[in-house]
Structure 1
Amino acid sequence: MIRKISGAFTGGALGALLDSFNIWWMGVAGVSDWLGIGMKPEFAAPWVYKRMIWGGIWMLLLLLPVWKGRIVARGMLFSLAPSAMMLLVVLPSMGKGLFGLGFGAMMPVVVVVLNFIYGIFASWWYSQTK
């Protein structure tokens, strides 16, 4: 059981690192501007560490016996929980409105798509650690 918990948490933490890099890169490369999104975080340790811890905690959902043989679908399914939290709680608490629309109309799409990548990576990692 410890191996499963460790694999799920580590997959989530590394997936969150990948997600953090993707968000940062989108700002640096101008993709955020092209999409009309005003969010351009600095790739700094406190920001990344916090995201990695929460990413690991969220992906403990991988311990649930749902779609065990479907890595991609499973990762996408479990990534919907942190997406909902971000869109319905975190971004509104930052003063950016429901779904983070204060950052731009494409923000909900960006959150869900990047979290799909995070979830798929975490699910793949977890599948490799059994």
Structure 2
Amino acid sequence: MQRTSALIAVCFCAGLLAALGNSIAAWLGGLWGITALFGVDMAPEFTRAWLYPRLVWGGLWGLPYFFVIRYLHLRRRWVRKGLWLSLLPTLAQLLFFFPRFTEAGWFGLGLGAATPLFVILYNLVWGFFLGVFARLLWGRG
């Protein structure tokens, strides 16, 4: 049971650290004008009020990763599994959070036609770092 709890904690922490990477990518994309170049209104300010909820959500989205790697024989291709898992927060953002809690509407198209592309891209960054950090935090065991 202890190893299970440790693996759950690793998944949460890896998701949190991956959210930091995702947030930096989103911030840099806005700062460098990449999103504006594609006509997307996503240029967040890097503040604590913006960052902290993203870190918590990243950790929570990291928890389902536990079910992907919970058994020893499943602990291969950590990054690939993280990339696949990144589809969950992507779909939630595009199909639930944008239309329900923002004025951006379905797929966030109110922010620009290329918004789904950036959501997918930024969440792939999260999935990549999820796999990397989970593997690093778990070690060889």
Question: Normalized against structure 2, the TM-score is what?
Answer: 0.86
Question: CA separation in 1, counterparts of 2:97 and 2:50?
Answer: 14
Find the partner of 2:55 among 45, 49, 52. Answer: 52
Which consecutive unaligned segments of at least 5 residues does structure 1 have? none
CA contact (8 A) 2:14 2:137 kept: no
In structure 2, the partner of 1:83 is 90
Question: CA separation in 1, counterparts of 2:80 and 2:115?
Answer: 22
Provide the secondary structure at the position in 2 that maps to 1:129. helix
Question: CA separation in 1, counterparts of 2:79 and 2:68?
Answer: 15
| 2:101 is equivalent to residue 98 of structure 1 | no
| 2:66 is equivalent to residue 63 of structure 1 | yes
Amino acid at match of 1:87: L
In structure 2, the partner of 1:30 is 33
| 2:127 is equivalent to residue 119 of structure 1 | yes
Q: Which has the greater radius of gyration?
A: 2
Question: CA separation in 2, counterparts of 1:65 and 1:54?
Answer: 18
| 2:7 is equivalent to residue 4 of structure 1 | yes
CA contact (8 A) 1:68 1:74 kept: no
Over the residues paired in the alignment, what is the CA RMSD in angstroms?
1.3
Amino acid at match of 1:129: L
| 2:19 is equivalent to residue 16 of structure 1 | yes
Q: 1:101 to 1:61 in 2, by over 3 A?
A: same
Shift of the alpha carbon at 1:95?
1.1
Amino acid at match of 1:57: L
Q: How many residues in Structure 1 have an aligned counterpart in Structure 2?
A: 130
CA contact (8 A) 2:68 2:81 kept: no
Provide the secondary structure at the position in 2 that maps to 1:20. helix
Percent of aligned pairs sharing the same letter = 34
